[in-house]
């Protein structure tokens, strides 16, 4: 019997009952243990009266818990027959498939794999076709389903590309090859989407269809979908998550959102990150558990948690739960309906929706999004604001404040810069002369009393924190930092935050009246899922509520005053944020540099310049 609408509720309810029954059994078992223990003590101390009064309540609690728990009414079932949309029909023209091998990848070197391409009968090379990428090849009877749905007009003309995972031969083939499936599909970084976009899809377009037509694939992200099961399921989500500018529609079945290569971090990451324009269809079963790795996590619970996170974050998400185990039988039965739902209003754009994240609601201005403020900048561009809120991308390049995009192409220099309360710029090169030979400035900030604080990199690569007084004297405040990066004072001037490029932890220091620091602690936990580096945290600015905004490889991470990431704002190009600053006349515009572009967007909250007079922050709890 095929699973329709309410199967999701019945299976989840059944699983919950099963778990509750198990808990009741444990309570009863523990009650018996307590009964035995207390009995021995009671006989030794006070006889049967104490025994009765002490042990019976525990026994009754266990019996009550056990007897009130309903027994499970179902059992594991993988009986999900395919419907008519998954079977060929003589009156519907069938598409054709072909295969080719891929080797010599630059992104996954040494691998070999097979690529399967389905071309629908309705395809004409007059215009690019929509694209579906299937990880682990074209499962779920994809060619037959697409034949039927395209003929019905339930989805557009779509070319499907089935990608198998790669393997690398050992030096003694065929002995012990390296299987790359988990590495390629379970990893949370950008390797897999890059591989698809830079190598696989261009390779497909070099071939011709079986009828001799050239293959043209749409570059429009609204025309692209991706799907897979298990490790392929999380891989499909990762591709769209990393590159929503390339893929907008996702089918994930029995997804491996567990502790293999960071997948268990997705639930929290989804809740904190500004929503992306994605549409996701999820499938799983109440008895899903991969026998090869139960120590990695609970597939069934992780998929439910992932769905709840997506719904909280505002995504267009639909789920169908069943009673299946860890296979694609149920997924294959619902695949036609999933494709109908994912493509239901094409070519209408899949758009981003508001998030339920309270911090995002508090800081984001409705209708305001990232826009380009400057382009053709260096990939490692810094940005700085003077006391009037003007933004600089170099010591002489000021970014226009109107809607036009400035060009950094003719910037004379990209060296580090910070402004003081008097409007004077402080460059990294100038401060290095004061600090002495061998200390390279990586971050600067200037307080309202004119004191300059700098993070520096030593000749051996260590990070240090220095104070440079108005008279040109310098003193080292701390050493042994794991890379030197950004620094910023809280709006009340009582605390200093310092990031480290080789650690996922940022420092917090207490600021004394004379400007010295103490009580340093690894206080701020930077989110780094999927990162191949150790942290990549950089520039910092604070807003007037005391929230730090930190440039990272995930985007702008927003922290609370207790050192926890509460929101993440990715850049449109997905690049690592190398520079960050608030600016504008009212300091409500956030600027972020990354990947050679400077972006800006209006926020509800205002930035707090480090040279501004100290302001008293509202009380803040322990959390």
Q: What is the 3-state secondary structure (H, E, C) of 132-156?
A: EEEECCCCCCHHHHHHHHHHHCCCC
Structural domain includes residue 535: yes
Structural domain includes residue 353: no
Q: Are residues 135 and 199 in the same domain?
A: yes
Euclidean distance between the first and the last CA atom of the chain, given in angstroms as a whole number: 49
Q: Are residues 505 and 400 in the same domain?
A: yes
User: Which two three-digit tokens encode residue 393?
Assistant: 């991308």
Domain extent, residue 463, equals 358-602
Structural domain includes residue 619: no
Please return the burial class of 470, using the count of CB atoms within 10 Å of its CB with bins 0-12, 13-18 and 19+. Answer: exposed
pLDDT of 473 reads 86
pLDDT of 529 reads 77
Q: Are residues 180 and 242 in the same domain?
A: yes
pLDDT of 414 reads 56
With contact defined as beta carbons under 8 Å apart, do 292 and 258 qualify? Answer: no
- The Cα–Cα gap between 256 and 228 comes to 10
Nearest 10 degrees: Cα torsion 88, 92, 98, 99:
-40
What stretch of H or E contains 540? strand 540-542
Q: Are residues 326 and 398 in the same domain?
A: no
Q: Are residues 61 and 94 in the same domain?
A: no
Structural domain includes residue 380: yes
Structural domain includes residue 616: no
Structural domain includes residue 392: yes
Q: What is the pTM of this model?
A: 0.85
Which residue among 307, 342, 377 closes a domain? 342
Q: Are residues 232 and 315 in the same domain?
A: yes
Q: Are residues 180 and 55 in the same domain?
A: no
Total domains in the fold of the chain? 3
pLDDT of 212 reads 96
pLDDT of 291 reads 86
CATH number of the domain encompassing residue 93 = 3.40.50.1820
- The Cα–Cα gap between 497 and 523 comes to 9
259-to-262, 267, 292 alpha-carbon distances in Å: 6, 12, 13
Residue whose C-alpha is closest to residue 148's, from 83, 228, 226:
83
Q: Are residues 142 and 49 in the same domain?
A: no
Residue whose C-alpha is closest to residue 538's, from 555, 550, 520:
550
- The Cα–Cα gap between 99 and 117 comes to 6
Which residue among 67, 93, 111 closes a domain? 67
Q: Are residues 336 and 283 in the same domain?
A: yes
pLDDT of 531 reads 56
pLDDT of 412 reads 55
Structural domain includes residue 621: no
Q: Are residues 174 and 57 in the same domain?
A: no
Structural domain includes residue 108: yes
pLDDT of 410 reads 60
**Could you state, in chain order, the average pLDDT of each consecutive group of 10 residues for the chain (623 residues)?**
40 44 37 33 40 38 37 72 97 97 95 97 96 97 98 98 96 95 94 97 98 97 98 98 96 97 95 97 95 91 97 97 95 98 96 94 94 86 90 80 71 71 85 83 91 91 89 89 92 96 93 94 89 70 97 95 97 90 95 93 96 93 91
User: Which two three-digit tokens encode residue 155?
Assistant: 């989805």
Q: Are residues 411 and 537 in the same domain?
A: yes
Residue whose C-alpha is closest to residue 387's, from 598, 606, 187, 585:
585
With contact defined as beta carbons under 8 Å apart, do 616 and 544 qualify? Answer: no
Q: Are residues 336 and 429 in the same domain?
A: no
């Amino acid at each position: 019997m095929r699973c329709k609408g309410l199967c999701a509720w019945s299976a989840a309810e059944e699983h919950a009952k099963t778990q509750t029954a198990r808990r009741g059994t444990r309570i009863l078992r523990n009650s018996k243990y307590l009964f035995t223990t207390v009995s021995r003590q009671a006989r030794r101390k006070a006889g049967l009266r104490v025994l009765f009064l002490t042990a019976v309540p525990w026994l009754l609690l266990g019996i009550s818990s056990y007897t009130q728990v309903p027994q499970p009414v179902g059992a594991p079932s993988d009986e999900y027959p395919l419907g008519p949309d998954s079977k060929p029909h003589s009156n519907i023209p069938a598409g054709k498939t072909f295969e080719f091998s891929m080797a010599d990848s630059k992104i996954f070197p040494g691998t070999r794999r097979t690529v399967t391409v389905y071309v629908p009968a309705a395809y004409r090379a007059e215009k690019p076709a929509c694209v579906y990428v299937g990880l682990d090849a074209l499962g779920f009877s994809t060619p037959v389903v697409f034949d039927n749905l395209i003929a019905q007009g339930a989805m557009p003309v779509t070319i499907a590309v089935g990608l198998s995972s790669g393997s690398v031969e050992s030096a003694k083939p065929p002995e012990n090859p390296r299987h790359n499936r988990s590495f390629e599909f379970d990893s949370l970084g950008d390797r897999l989407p890059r591989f698809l976009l830079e190598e696989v899809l261009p390779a497909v377009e070099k071939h011709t269809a079986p009828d001799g037509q050239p293959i043209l694939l749409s570059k429009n992200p609204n025309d692209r979908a991706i799907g897979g099961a298990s490790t392929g399921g999380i891989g499909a989500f990762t591709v769209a998550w990393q590159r929503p500018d390339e893929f907008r529609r996702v089918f994930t079945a029995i997804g491996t959102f567990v502790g293999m290569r960071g997948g268990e971090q997705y639930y929290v990451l989804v809740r904190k990150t500004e929503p992306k324009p994605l549409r996701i269809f999820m499938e799983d079963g109440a008895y899903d558990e991969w026998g090869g790795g139960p120590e990695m996590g609970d597939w069934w619970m992780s998929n439910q948690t992932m769905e709840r996170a997506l719904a909280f974050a505002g995504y267009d998400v639909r789920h169908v739960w069943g009673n299946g185990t860890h296979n694609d039988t149920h997924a294959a039965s619902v695949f036609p309906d999933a494709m109908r739902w994912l493509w239901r209003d094409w070519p209408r754009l899949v758009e981003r929706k508001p998030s339920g994240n309270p911090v995002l609601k508090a800081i984001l201005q409705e209708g305001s999004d990232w826009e380009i403020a400057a382009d053709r900048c260096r990939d490692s561009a810094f940005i700085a604001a003077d006391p009037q809120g003007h933004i600089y991308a170099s010591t002489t390049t000021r970014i226009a404040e109107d809607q036009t995009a400035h060009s950094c192409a003719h910037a004379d220099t990209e060296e580090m810069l910070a402004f003081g309360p008097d409007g004077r710029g402080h460059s990294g090169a100038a401060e290095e002369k004061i600090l002495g030979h061998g200390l390279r400035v990586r971050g600067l900030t200037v307080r309202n009393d004119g004191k300059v604080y700098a993070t520096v990199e030593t000749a051996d690569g260590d990070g240090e924190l220095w104070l440079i007084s108005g008279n040109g004297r310098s003193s080292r405040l701390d050493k042994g930092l794991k890379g030197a990066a950004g620094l910023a004072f809280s709006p009340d001037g009582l605390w200093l935050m310092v990031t480290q490029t080789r650690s996922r932890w940022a420092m917090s220091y207490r600021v004394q009246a004379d400007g010295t620091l103490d009580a340093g602690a690894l206080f701020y936990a930077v989110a780094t899922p999927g990162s191949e580096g150790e942290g990549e945290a950089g520039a910092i600015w604070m807003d007037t509520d005391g929230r730090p905004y930190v440039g990272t490889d995930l985007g702008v991470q927003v922290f609370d005053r207790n050192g926890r990431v509460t929101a993440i704002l990715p850049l449109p190009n997905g690049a690592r944020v190398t520079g960050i600053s608030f600016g504008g006349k009212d300091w409500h515009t956030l600027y972020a540099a990354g990947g050679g572009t400077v972006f800006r967007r209006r926020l509800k909250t205002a930035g707090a310049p480090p040279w501004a007079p100290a302001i008293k922050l509202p009380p803040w709890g322990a959390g």
